Structure 1
Amino acid sequence: MRALLPILLALLLTGCGERFDTDQTRLCRQAIPALNAPDARITIDRATTGPRANALRILYHVETGGGPARQRMIDCLFAGEGAGLQRGALLGVAVDGRPMNDASFYLLRRFYLENREEPPADPGSARIDGLPQLPAGLAYALQQGLSALPSAAVYALLASAYALIYGLTGRIILCFGEFAALGALAAVIGVALLVSAAISTPVSGLLVAFVVAMLVAAFHGFAMGRFVLRHLERASGQQMLIATIGLAIALSEYLRLAQGPDLRWLPPVFNEPWALARSGSFIVTATPVGLALAAGGLSAALGLVLLIRHSAFGRAWRAVSDDAGTAALFGVNARAVHDRALILACAACGAAGVIVTAIYGGMGFAGGFTLGLKALVAAILGGIGSVAGACLGGLSIALFEVLWSSAMPLEQRDIAVYSLLAVVLILRPGGFFGEGALAPRQV
């Protein structure tokens, strides 16, 4: 079965080959201005499938000077939906039915479409004439805040998972990042199965991705609790740490064998940028999928906080966290509380993996380590024994990362995050939202 799974997944993903995502459509539109006069006025009519299954055809009108509008078309040939980094790559262009020669296509792609200093204009982008004008500093801050929202949702969910377990046992489970990677792969497989059944839409695909990822992560979490953690109930924290590190390595290898060394990607959906405001030529944008997933992830994290504070399970969780022996005398089943908390924590990790996959396209089998480590930093900063504090710690890490990236070297960002952890542990060991000093109890 492990040998057949990558083959089955690849075959299912080939069903997406005739679809063109928004990135491909935008890339094809961006090639249009280079094929017309500099002062031409271009109006996009519609996009459709070209003469081949993997060819995208865009029909448009062009006006030059005071002459009448003339209809033209461009065909963009893309590679199929593979598993590597070149999936969906632009392979060729035809203008008004005439294929562009190799030399011209190379110049178009290399020096125009791939120009990072001056990205080509998109003639199909939304109009920006009526956007509200903002001061330059405010517009830049708004853009950075919008960019931080998906990361904040991911860190908040993963940090909540750490807090749910640490609040009960005083132990750190170091494999929650791998559970996020497991959820990411499960989401890709779920969407591929939906596409193969010919009932896929972007909304249904996202819903199925979340359901499958959370169920798979929760099932594996239950198995981890039953066969690993339950045997370590009376073990020291160091033994638990070593066991979960080994489990993280085993999960990473399990994912590598299941999906292969290549990434498995989801085609981007709902990622056409929305222009929200401007400051001169600087446009503040956000994507619908980014806003929706960030809102969903933050709402789920808030739901966990409210669950702990206002539900019967939350009262049982707080009772076991405070004194498991006394809680047992009042009829609280500590083992059942542990199992439910672990299932909730792993389901939250699976949801975080879906957000990463939907926003960035994919998540490798080894991508969960760094993600889980940063989420652990967030949980410690916020107060790891508190679910609410861990969520706020996730928001703080996301804000710190985006502020650092906007003003400081990007390659030093991770060093800065871990240095922030060291400073906080020295000055306030209980975290930002915990006690100023470590309490005698580890909650």
Structure 2
Amino acid sequence: MRHLLPSILLVLALASCGERFDTDQMRLCRQAIPALNPPGAAIAIDRVQDGARPHMLGISYSVSTPGGVARRRRIDCLFAGEGQALTRGALIGIAADGRPMSDASFYLLRRFYLENREEPPPDPGASPSEALPEIAPALAYGLQQGLSALPSAATYALLACAYALIYGLTGRIVLSFGEFAALGALSAVVGAALLVAYAASTPATGLVAAFIVAILVCALHGFAMGRFVLRPLESRFHDDTLGRQAPGQQVLIATIGLAIALSEYLRLAQGANLRWLPPVFNEPLALARAGSFIVTVTPLGLAVAAAGFAVTLGLILLIARSAYGRAWRAVSDDARTAALFGVDPRAVHDKALILACAASGMAGVVVTAVYGGMGFAGGFSLGLKALVGSILGGIGSPAGAALGGLCIALFEVLWSSTMPIDNRDIAVYSLLAVVLILRPGGFFGDGALAPRQV
């Protein structure tokens, strides 16, 4: 039974992938075409289709040399498969006009041409860059870094807002939201696989199913956490639970234990290998250029980042302008007085926990959609960085915490573009120490330490 769920996930994922090739594989196959033709030849892609063998991609194209006659050719690229391993899309063979390339020639082509990071090979299928607006190299580099950081910014903003929803209400930090993001990531893969395996779907409906399943699963687990972990602590330490919370250390320790349990739970459910969503809508769109450097963005990255920012803004507006938001602010200010006016502190807390866990699950979907997958242990560092962002912005305010998450993403971009990336996480955690020393309340908090004990 222990290996039953990983086997089911593998079958569903394989069923969902079929023989469709992602844009990275198609681009890699196109980039091999110039090496098979004379230098300076004009290449035009005619048709892309499945090859004669499983996991083989065929591209028909026409090539013409200066002063020569155009002729039609074909390249067939054989990939390792569409499974769940890290090498699921690796190029393992090439055939030109039906003649397989020798192992030695293929190794040299892949090692010294296709994998050349300093001078990447041209893509014959890419849109011409001459029509793109020319901008300064520094501006182009900064624009590319900013566009690439949008999904990370949305992820940090969602998780930071989740921390603020609970801390602003109870003064307690729940250290398991990163693991809820990992739970949302795995739920997204399962939801998309189930939809594709049992119903006709498109990539767009698969993404929608991933979001819906992840949000529902994480909201259900969040309700269970509040009912079976946090509420017993309230009753255990206080007979009069109205307006009272369990001591902060007990809540912190309990949620750390829950985070470890969730991580192990995901490891057993996921199995030894990562579960991946096939890349969709990730064909780069060229926006500008600086010489040979092209600023690009993917439709998927923009879409999931916009969805993450929209949900974060919705949570902020919910707290600021809705009836539930008024109840949340009342319980946050004085739970006993709010109860005297008919507000149920427990119900407000339960709803806040469900909203926070659902937002964490959506953050996991954003990570999965952009990067392909998220391991069972990947939620720890993600949640810790989002906690740094929430403290940076003001952990008692959802708006301030979301702003702090954006600042963490901006800080990571600036550090990665100017400093060694190996030291980036150390720099983020050092930033937390600096903020706690200079302004413990964050951007939207007080300059002095908050009276609540964490």
Matched, 1:308 2:309: no
Among 289, 297, 307, the alignment partner of 2:308 is 297
Aligned residue number for residue 286 of structure 2: 275
CA contact (8 A) 2:184 2:218 kept: yes
> What does 1:78-89 correspond to in 2, within 5 Å?
78-89=79-90
Matched, 1:42 2:43: yes
Aligned residue number for residue 123 of structure 2: 122
Among 357, 365, 383, the alignment partner of 2:394 is 383
Matched, 1:363 2:374: yes
2 CA distance for matches of 1:168 and 1:176? 16
1 CA distance for matches of 2:402 and 2:14? 38
Larger displacement relative to structure 2 (237-246 or 196-205): 196-205
> What does 1:26-425 correspond to in 2, within 5 Å?
26-233=27-234, 234-425=245-436
2 CA distance for matches of 1:105 and 1:315? 66
Q: One-letter code of the match for 2:41?
A: A
What secondary structure does 1:51 align onto?
coil
CA contact (8 A) 1:430 1:438 kept: yes
What secondary structure does 2:19 align onto?
coil
2 CA distance for matches of 1:2 and 1:358? 27
1 CA distance for matches of 2:341 and 2:452? 21
Could you tell me which runs of 5 or more consecutive residues in structure 2 were left unpaired when the two chains were aligned: 235-244
Q: CA deviation at 1:266?
A: 0.8
Per-residue CA deviations over 1:252-292 (Å, capped at 9, x if unaligned) read 00000001121111111111111101122221111111111
Q: CA deviation at 1:312?
A: 0.7
CA contact (8 A) 1:17 1:54 kept: no
Q: CA deviation at 1:433?
A: 2.4
Q: One-letter code of the match for 1:254?
A: Y
CA contact (8 A) 1:379 1:389 kept: yes
Per-residue CA deviations over 1:125-165 (Å, capped at 9, x if unaligned) read 11111111112222222111111111100000000000000
CA contact (8 A) 2:55 2:82 kept: no
CA contact (8 A) 1:13 1:81 kept: no
Q: One-letter code of the match for 2:326?
A: R
Q: One-letter code of the match for 2:43?
A: I
Q: CA deviation at 1:442?
A: 6.6
Q: CA deviation at 1:2?
A: 4.3
Matched, 1:438 2:444: no
2 CA distance for matches of 1:282 and 1:90? 26
What secondary structure does 1:440 align onto?
coil
Q: CA deviation at 1:66?
A: 1.7
What secondary structure does 1:48 align onto?
strand
Larger displacement relative to structure 2 (278-287 or 357-366): 278-287
In structure 2, relative to structure 1, the CA distance for the partners of 1:306 and 1:110 (3 Å cut) is same
2 CA distance for matches of 1:35 and 1:195? 37
Could you tell me which runs of 5 or more consecutive residues in structure 1 were left unpaired when the two chains were aligned: none
Q: CA deviation at 1:423?
A: 0.5
What secondary structure does 2:122 align onto?
coil
Aligned residue number for residue 6 of structure 1: 6
Q: One-letter code of the match for 2:173?
A: I
Larger displacement relative to structure 2 (377-386 or 61-70): 61-70
1 CA distance for matches of 2:324 and 2:42? 62
CA contact (8 A) 2:319 2:326 kept: yes
TM-score (norm 2): 0.96
Q: CA deviation at 1:241?
A: 0.8
Q: One-letter code of the match for 2:437?
A: I
1 CA distance for matches of 2:192 and 2:62? 36
Question: How high is the sequence identity, in percent, across the aligned residues?
Answer: 76
TM-score (norm 1): 0.98
2 CA distance for matches of 1:81 and 1:285? 26
Q: How many residues align?
A: 443
Larger displacement relative to structure 2 (79-88 or 371-380): 79-88
Larger displacement relative to structure 2 (403-412 or 103-112): 103-112
In structure 2, relative to structure 1, the CA distance for the partners of 1:372 and 1:165 (3 Å cut) is same
Q: CA deviation at 1:439?
A: 3.6
Per-residue CA deviations over 1:328-367 (Å, capped at 9, x if unaligned) read 0010011111111111101001110000001111100000
Q: CA deviation at 1:321?
A: 0.5
Q: One-letter code of the match for 2:53?
A: R
CA contact (8 A) 1:17 1:80 kept: no
Q: One-letter code of the match for 2:186?
A: L
1 CA distance for matches of 2:311 and 2:38? 51
Q: CA deviation at 1:197?
A: 2.0
Q: CA deviation at 1:17?
A: 3.6
1 CA distance for matches of 2:229 and 2:78? 51
What secondary structure does 1:66 align onto?
coil
Q: One-letter code of the match for 2:12?
A: L
CA contact (8 A) 2:248 2:453 kept: no
What secondary structure does 2:149 align onto?
helix
What secondary structure does 2:46 align onto?
strand
Larger displacement relative to structure 2 (415-424 or 103-112): 103-112
Moved runs in structure 1, 4+ residues, more than 4 A? none
CA contact (8 A) 1:385 1:442 kept: no
CA contact (8 A) 2:3 2:271 kept: no
